[in-house]
Amino acid sequence: MVSSAPGSAPPPAMIEAEDQWIFTEEELLLAPSITDGIPAEEERTLRRKGVGFIMQVGMMLKLPQTTLSTAAVFFNRYLMRMSLKPRPGYKPLHHYQIAATALFLATKVEENCRKMKELVVSCVRVALKDPNKLVDEQTKDFWKWRDTILYSEDVLLESLCFDLDVESPYKTMYDLMKFYGVEHNKKLRNSAWAFLSDSTTTQMCLLFPSRTIAAASLYAGARMAEAEIGEDDGKPWWETQHVTLRDIKKACNLMADLYEKSPDKDGEPSMYAGLRTPEDGIDFGDTPRSMEGVQSTSQSQPPANGTGDGNATERGSEEGELDG
């Protein structure tokens, strides 16, 4: 999707296309898996594990963060249409299957394609937690994963209604930094980038448009770097960018709730410590009910300025095994 230029209003078609994938906190609690009986906390954990799978496979394949972010969006959108719980006549895809297929689709959409063999080998190694495992066309796991990804691609496309336009918050964020002349502020740039990377493991892409997420990353980065972004024609910069301060603060509060208690890799306080601020003069800093499961699990997974193993328990079948 082509991003709108900084300072100009997003095209109505772009807003309409993205709004159909934006949900309220209450609607997130009505996701198919939850309405089918999976506890909300468990459903959030499965989402987090699926995105973690995408990140680990993506790192093995040396894919850019923008491609991984798009894959995470596809993964989360799919789970707003389809359930992870089996029922008579319906056998759901495993969350790792969905994640692998979302990544396969994202590499094509973002034109960062990798050979199918490379993708399959990386998926098997990550699923089995063995980065050195020998995988080739002679192994059963290779063909199981290859066939699963190719079959699941059609399922994913149909569930997404072939809507593959995703506006990258990374590109929008960098365009905003260039627009305001702060792209050379290393601390601001790194903090904003880390904010976006950490937000990928949450459901923020379902709560806010990508432009709001990008603006929130710039707002958070400016606060962390103690930098000021000047007004534009007497208006605050976020008004010029057609984003409300309330939404920016709400997104920042969500990140603070999830990550502020996680120390960084040097043992220093998290970059999110002190980021929370009241919205419209009222403190709405409590974690949204739809994200409570994420908060309880994210404490064991440090943010982008830390390290984490991404390990978790398994659903349905054994870790790394796909039902044949």
- Predicted pLDDT at 167: 85
Single-letter amino acid code for the residue at 254: L
Largest Cα–Cα separation, the chain: 66
Q: Tell how far CA 142 is from the center of its chain.
A: 27
The dihedral over CA atoms of 230, 233, 237, 243, expressed in degrees to the nearest 10, equals 180
Q: DSSP of 52-89, one letter per residue?
A: HHHHHHHHHTT--HHHHHHHHHHHHHHTTTS-SS-BTT
The counts of H helices and E strands in the chain are 15, 0
Domain 169-298 listed as CATH 2.102.10.10: no
Query: What pLDDT is attached to residue 68?
Result: 94
**Distance, CA of 303 to CA of 298 (rounded, Å):** 8
Instruction: Tell me how far apart the alpha carbons of residues 190 and 124 are, in angstroms, rounded to a whole number.
Output: 32
95 and 50 Cβ atoms separated by less than 8 Å? yes
Q: Quick one: DSSP state of residue 232?
A: B
- Divide the 324 residues of the chain into consecutive groups of 10 and give the mean pLDDT of each group: 59 70 91 93 93 94 93 95 90 93 94 90 89 79 90 93 88 90 90 91 91 92 85 82 90 83 61 68 42 44 44 40 50
> Residue 73 is encoded by which pair of tokens?
């969006």
Q: Where are the domains of the chain?
A: 16-159, 169-298
Q: Is 181 exposed, middle or buried (0-12, 13-18, 19+ CB in 10 A)?
A: exposed
Any bridge partners for residue 235, and if so which?
232
Q: Please, what is the angle between helix 65-78 and helix 95-109, to 10°?
A: 130
Are the folds of 16-159 and 169-298 the same?
A: yes
- Size (the chain), residues: 324
Q: Is the dihedral of CA 195, 200, 204, 210 positive or negative?
A: positive
Rounded to two decimals, what is the model's pTM?
0.80
Pick the CATH number of 16-159 from 1.10.472.10, 3.40.630.10, 3.40.50.170, 1.10.287.110: 1.10.472.10
